[in-house]
Amino acid sequence: MKRYILCLCIILSTYSTAFASYVVKGKGITSVMYIGGKAETSKCNDEVVYVVDLENKIVTRTGVFNADIKEGPVAGLQTDNTVYQIVYDVKEDAILRDKERSKPQHIIKAIGKCGFLEGYETIVIGDDFISTSKSAFDYFMLYYYKRIQ
């Protein structure tokens, strides 16, 4: 009987861990770079992949595909496993963009240190979008992605 209960506990803990994290993917829509007192907006074709782990309160970026960069060290698929700490997790937050698109969404906000130039990045994940902001040295970047998974 003890062996049966132990096996059941192991199985249940495995299932709860499997469901505690999930993959989020986004396709870039726009990006804004602010440097030297000037902002430049451009179309963004990047794709990002994050693993959201609500149990451990972390988000891990597992991949970035830089579609617009054809050559060099940041071209193509980049994997970096940057970890962000979840600081906000509300299941029914109202997003008030405008009356037609306003709807309650599960909103997750996280912050982490990105390796490039000792910067920091914030991530906001909604049911249908991902937005990120990076600040480092002398620039600030904003990205807006449409959720594709």
SS3 9: helix
d(CA 50, CA 64): 9
pLDDT (mean) for 65-70: 77
Measured CA to CA, the distance from residue 78 to residue 132 in angstroms comes to: 17
pLDDT surpasses 60 at 83: yes
Contact at 8 Å (CB) between 31 and 41? yes
Per-residue model confidence (pLDDT) at position 7 = 35
User: How is the chain split into domains, by residue range?
Assistant: 21-147
CATH 2.40.160 fits 21-147, yes or no: yes
Task: Check whether 92 has a pLDDT greater than 50.
Answer: yes
In this predicted structure, which of 18-22, 50-54, 106-110 has the lowest mean pLDDT?
Answer: 18-22
**pLDDT computed for residue 19 by the predictor:** 55
Residue written as token pair 């008030």? 96
The mean pLDDT value for 12-28 works out to 70
Whole-model pTM: value is 0.78
Q: 105 pairs with which residues across the strands?
A: 93
